[in-house]
Amino acid sequence: MTAFTLGEASARVLARAGDGLRDRSRAPARTRAPHRTGAPVLRDSIEAGTFEELFFATPAPGETDRLLRACRRTLDAGRRLRREERAGTRTLSATERSIAGLTAAAVRVFEELCTLARLNQGRVYPSYDWLAEATALGRATVARALHALERCGFLVRQRRFKRVEGEGPRYRQTSNAYRPLLPARVLAYLPRWMRPAPLPVDHEQHRAVEAEAHERMLASLSCRERATASVGGMLGKVLASLGAAIDRDMASACESHNHPQPLMDSI
């Protein structure tokens, strides 16, 4: 049996550990297969050019200015809510927390989006880099501002992707589409002169009478006329043709009931 000193034993252990590390370093690295579309597309993305006509809306004259004033007033309301929460005199609800999360940077980004909506007839789809350049804010600050606006309800954001010419189907993420809005949840925190005028007391009664009259009108129509009046487009045409067939069957059934065929004389 060979005896080793303490120094020799330590040297042998270190040598074996070094051989193991070298063997692991020579092992081939795990390869990751490329994405089948070239670049991953974010969840809930829609192809650019397929939905914008329904998503965008041309703002009315002065509407973007009213939206921006409401956003600035909501920023002031959020500051008051945060001050009351720090003082311990108020417990914020979920809506109030979203309002308190609004920042001056978010209002600046919203101002730029409203300007684009006014100049481009509601078609707003700037990139993060474009907004960062236009507002002199950082890209991460712009991302946080958009998230705060969306959480508060001032903004609707839709992710988009586009096709890239190349070998096979390839897609690439592109800039988002935005639509500025006035959320109903912040109306209670705005000054009274900025809120919409209240509806008349008899408004609900008028709506109920109109709905009842509409139902009576639909009940008096034939199946074909009801399908044409209720549903439009290609589906309305298909339902109208089916309704016409039902009307013919019902008419023939009524005619046979009113004028029955004579029975054959039995032999």
Sign of CA dihedral 117, 119, 124, 127: negative
Mind listing the pLDDT tens digit for each residue in 174-225? Answer: 999 999 999 999 999 998 888 777 767 777 788 888 888 888 887 887 877 7
Instruction: Please tell me what DSSP assigns to residue 175.
Output: E
pLDDT above 90 covers a percentage of the chain that reads 51
15 or 80, which is more confident?
80
Q: Which helix (H) or strand (E) holds 209?
A: helix 203-219
| CB-count burial class (<10 Å; 0-12, 13-18, 19+) for 110 | buried
Q: What is the mean pLDDT of the chain?
A: 81
CB 59 within 8 A of CB 117: yes
Tell which residue, 8, 208, 170, 189, has the closest CA to residue 97. 189
User: Tokens at residue 255, please?
Assistant: 């005619």
CATH domain 46-194 topology: Arc Repressor Mutant, subunit A (1.10.10)
Tell which residue, 99, 109, 79, 77, has the closest CA to residue 153. 99
Residue ranges per structural domain of the chain: 46-194, 219-258
Q: Does residue 28 surpass a pLDDT of 70?
A: no
Mind listing the pLDDT tens digit for each residue in 80-135? Answer: 999 999 999 999 999 999 999 999 999 999 999 999 999 999 999 999 999 999 99
Tell which residue, 113, 97, 117, 95, has the closest CA to residue 105. 113
- Give the 3-state secondary structure of residue 105: helix
> How much is the pLDDT for 126?
97
109 residue type, one letter:
V
Mean pLDDT of 54-60: 94
Rg of the chain over Cα atoms, rounded to whole angstroms, equals: 34
Q: Does residue 5 surpass a pLDDT of 80?
A: no
How far the first Cα of the chain sits from its last, in Å, is: 127
| CB-count burial class (<10 Å; 0-12, 13-18, 19+) for 221 | middle
Q: Does residue 15 surpass a pLDDT of 60?
A: no
